[in-house]
Amino acid sequence: MENRPDWTDEQWYAADLTSVAGVERLRFFPQVVASGAGSVLTTPEGREVIDLSASWTATGLGHAHPDVVAAAERALRAAPGGSVLSGTHPDAVLLARALCERVEVTAPAGERRAYLGHAGTDANDVALRAARHVTGRAGIVAFEGGYHGGLGASQSVSGLHISGGTTADPDLTLVPYPDVYRPWQDSAETLLADTLARVEAALADGSVAAVLVEPIQSDGGVLVPPDGFLAGLREATSRHGALLVIDEVKVGLGRTGHFLAHHAEGVVPDLVTLGKALGNGLPVSALVGPASALDEPAASALMTTIGNPVSCAAALAVLELLDDGTLAASAARLGEQATETIRGFAAGDRPGAAHVGQVRGRGLSVGIELVRPGTQEPADDLAAKTAFAGWSNGVVAYPVRGNVLEITPPLTITPAELQTGLERLLAALDAAACGEVADEDVAAFSGW
């Protein structure tokens, strides 16, 4: 932009506060970024920061990945219209076909369809409508701590963040997600059995259209469920004539060491939603399911720029980059590096070590739970202050569920970059634990 002001980082952030709507700000520190490359972000003043968030996984293959940039630029220059509403174009057709081939659902490949949307929010919205349409039922079972969207119907079935004027869906039943990371609870086997029994009870009267679940609950605290959880949901939904909808928006597409996170259990869902990393920073989402659920009613999920060629081209490039499994395998290795580093820190005697409770996750979806020393009491304020100090220290990481720092860097991050980012974050935890971040420093950043 030729006439962009030559402002400082502080000036850009101040201008944001007086121009960008507050309803779309989820802020933890005064983050302003002018550019990005791979796993490194650069502020307007030229300060380089390691990104351990990948924009909540939305830039999962790294900022400005050259293959994605080339695909989007080609589509932008060709410009074959703006959507798939009243006509189609090759990139939309190829993307839909690629998704139907790669995402296994209960319908055979030739009877699958892909809805192309803008974000996980609308993909989950359409999934809910599809489940209700095909079953003729209204009920939805979802899980406490789950997050399925920031607006409308998908927000109304989210167990984590039903706020801001959005009320719970009247036909929603929330069930506790099996959190095996609470040492004072029953065994994983007992917890799993209790969770599945609650789902079974909700399904029993035949009024439930679908069970909606994240294979790893990210914003709810990076919770990996016990083995058999998804398989148990699959068996129960099949027996009661409900659909199993798996929300892969945040943890899918290579992040957990599998192409999709639910592949760890080998289950086959009825509907799968994707988003965030699918466009690597461009707005695109997808829902894959049976034609019987997604072909009718015609023209019932309309947004003017859905299936736009630029986002579709970017998504195709992302799928091609994931095809050989190299990035997923790297995510598994790097995840082990991250957990070993954090656990090593927790076993030491630095100021922040005693505040580390559980370290959990799978692949490059890692959570650091912060607690009061010697207790299991959540230390939400410490997580907020650590994130704030991290930004000053040259790293981006955000809290989830109040007291869990989430580590979700681009899958393309190098081992050295990951190590440097973690060291900066753990130094920020030390600083926060020593009282170097004041309450007033974080007061302006309400977070969740």
How many other C-beta atoms lie within 10 A of the C-beta of residue 316?
24
The SS3 call for residue 144 is strand
d(CA 105, CA 272): 7
What residues are paired with 176 via a beta bridge? 144
Q: Give the span between the Cα atoms of 321 and 61, in whole angstroms.
A: 9
Take residue 43 and report the two structure tokens written for it.
Answer: 């502020």
Helix (H) or strand (E) holding 35: strand 35-37
Task: Compute the C-alpha angle 110/257/38, nearest 5°.
Answer: 100
Q: Confirm if 365 and 336 have CB atoms less than 8 A apart.
A: no
Instruction: Give the torsion through C-alpha atoms of 408, 413, 414, 420, to 10 deg.
Output: -60
Note whether 60 and 76 are within 8 A (CB): no
Residues with Cβ within 8 Å of residue 175, at least 6 apart in sequence: 141, 142, 143, 144, 195, 198, 199, 202
Q: Which two tokens stand for residue 333?
A: 């290795």
Are 337 and 366 in contact, with CB atoms under 8 Å apart? no
Q: Looking at the DSSP assignment, which residues form a beta bridge with residue 83? A: none
For 411, the token pair is 């899958």
Q: By the 8 A CB rule, do 139 and 171 touch?
A: yes
The H helix count followed by the E strand count for the chain is 13, 15
Annotated catalytic residue within 13, 115, 147, 398: 147
Helix (H) or strand (E) holding 51: strand 48-51
147 belongs to the catalytic site: yes
Q: Are 94 and 84 in contact (CB under 8 A)?
A: no
Contact 134, 243 (CB under 8 A): yes
DSSP conformation letters of 361-423:
EETTEEEEEEB-TTS--B-HHHHHHHHHHHHHTTEE-EEETTTEEEE---TT--HHHHHHHHH
d(Cα 156, Cα 163) in Å, to the nearest integer? 9
What angle is formed at CA 271 by the lines to CA 248 and CA 239, rounded to 5 degrees?
Answer: 120
Please identify every residue annotated as catalytic: 147
